Amino acid sequence: MLERQTETEHFNLSWQQQLAEAFNSIEDLCHYLHLSPSELPVSSAANKDFSLRVPLSFAASMEKGNPHDPLLRQVLPVNDELLAYPGFSNDPVGDLRAATESSVLHKYQGRVLLINTGSCAINCRYCFRRNFPYADLQLSKQKEDAAVRYIDKDSGISEVILSGGDPLVLNDARLTRLVQHLGRIKHLKRIRIHSRMPVVLPARITDELINTLAQCPAQIILVVHCNHANEINERVIAACKTLKNNGITLFNQSVLLKNVNDTAKQLCELSERLFSHGIIPYYLHLLDKATGTGHFEVSEQDALALMRQVQATLPGYLVPKLVKEVAGMASKQYVFNDTNGYR
């Protein structure tokens, strides 16, 4: 790929072409990063379970020659994924089965999650979706229409969250159709999109997408997913600026990951950098205990100690809420060890 094209040429391709040319082999990615696979704990078995996938735009922010790069660690299939950890399972929050049976997850009051695709532009090793059996299924138009009718009929629903997978994997025609249908529902105040695309494949923020979102009568919120300040490159910054300029509110959610972002310094830098580009820190999630991800876990106790330091360093609005998902609860659970914060 890169023999024929310079990176600049690649970043001028359509997002679909960039996605089609994303790294999908350990060897190619290592070669690009000037690393030798034989010196890394890479695992072809882990790769077979859940294959490497990373767009060049994201890989370009990794440090060449650094086997411990925090962005590389998020995407490289490694031997540790094959280890069994107690308490880790294929469906830690009980959503997988629910999501395959119905496209609407109505667990929390006033807001529903609409799952319209199982695929993503990047495969994050720590994701619970790695064990999702129908990763590439796309919601049929019939099921999507049924979901829209469900939302239309329940005036208690004020917010729809488009989730996945990554909802921005859908093409613009498909998204426009959905957003227009949702936009006609009078009681719907907000459409929230949960997507890692602005960070991993910012070319996805096309003019057509912006037009669709800007024209929607409901307020639009985009919750990006960024774990480390290094992920925010100039392409990400430009995409976020366009979104902001078109009235879209930007939040970020991260996952707390061992040896990726588990120092107070990294978390503070992330919040600062997000905010300087118009993105407000929202959630910091404790890892969902999905099979194959145990080596990323940061204990609740360590997480609380980190949050205490972050809280002592940053203004309150730059401190994300530390949360975990507990099956059967009516909301995400704040992780505190007393009623007065992270102390």
Ligand X SMILES: *Cc1c(COP(=O)(O)O)cnc(C)c1O
Given the rule CB under 6 A, which residues bind ligand SF4? 120, 122-124, 127, 129, 165-166, 196, 225
Q: Cβ 186 to ligand SF4, closest distance in Å?
A: 31
Footprint of ligand X on residues 145-204 (CB under 6 A)? 161
Q: What is the 3-state secondary structure (H, E, C) of 152-210?
A: HHCCCCCEEEEECCCHHHCCHHHHHHHHHHHHCCCCCCEEEEEECHHHHCHHHCCHHHH
Min dist. Cβ of residue 50 to ligand X (A): 21
Of 218 and 229, which has the nearer Cβ to ligand SF4?
229
| Partner whose footprint covers residue 127, from ligand X, ligand SF4, none (CB < 5 to 8 Å by kind) | ligand SF4
Q: Tokens 């069994």, residue?
A: 84
Helix 300-313 × helix 264-276 angle, to 10°: 50
- Looking only at residues 89 through 128 of this chain, which bind ligand X when binding is defined by CB under 6 A? 105, 107-108, 111, 113
**Per-residue x/- mask for ligand X, residues 317 to 336, rule CB under 6 A?**
--------------xx----
In this structure, the dihedral spanned by the alpha carbons of residues 10, 15, 20 and 21, taken in order and rounded to 10 degrees, is 20
Q: In terms of CB distance, is 23 or 251 closer to ligand X?
A: 251
Residue 68, classified by CB atoms within 10 Å of its CB into exposed (0-12), middle (13-18) or buried (19+), is: exposed
Classify residue 94 by its DSSP letter: S
Taking the complex as a whole, the smallest distance from the CB of residue 337 to ligand X amounts, in Å, to 21
Nearer to ligand SF4, 35 or 169 (CB): 169
Question: Which of ligand X, ligand SF4, none lies near 277, with the C-beta cut-off 5 to 8 A by kind?
Answer: none
Is 85 or 282 the residue whose CB approaches ligand X more closely? 282
Which of 326, 323, 287 minimizes the C-alpha distance to 307? 323
Cα gap 114→99, rounded to integer Å: 9
Q: How far apart are CB 129 and ligand SF4 at their closest, in Å?
A: 5
25 contributes a contact to ligand X by CB under 6 A: no
The amino acid at 313 = T
If the CB atoms of residues 44 and 331 are measured against ligand X, the closer one turns out to be: 331
For the CB of residue 121, give the shortest distance to ligand SF4 in the complex, in Å. Answer: 7
Residue 331: name its binding partner from ligand X, ligand SF4, none (Cβ under 5 to 8 Å by kind).
ligand X
116 binds, among ligand X, ligand SF4, none (CB under 5 to 8 A by kind): none
Compute the least distance from the CB of residue 122 to ligand SF4, in Å. 5
What the block records as the tokens of 90 is: 């294929």
CB of 131 to ligand X, least distance (A): 17
Cβ-based neighbours of 339, under 8 Å, separated by 6 or more: none
Applying CB under 6 A, the site for ligand X has a residue count of 8
How far is the C-alpha of 302 from the C-alpha of 176, rounded, in Å? Answer: 43
Please compute Rg for the chain using Cα positions. 20
Angle (deg, nearest 10), helices 172-183 and 207-215: 0
What does the binding site for ligand X look like in residue numbers (CB under 6 A)? 105, 107-108, 111, 113, 161, 331-332
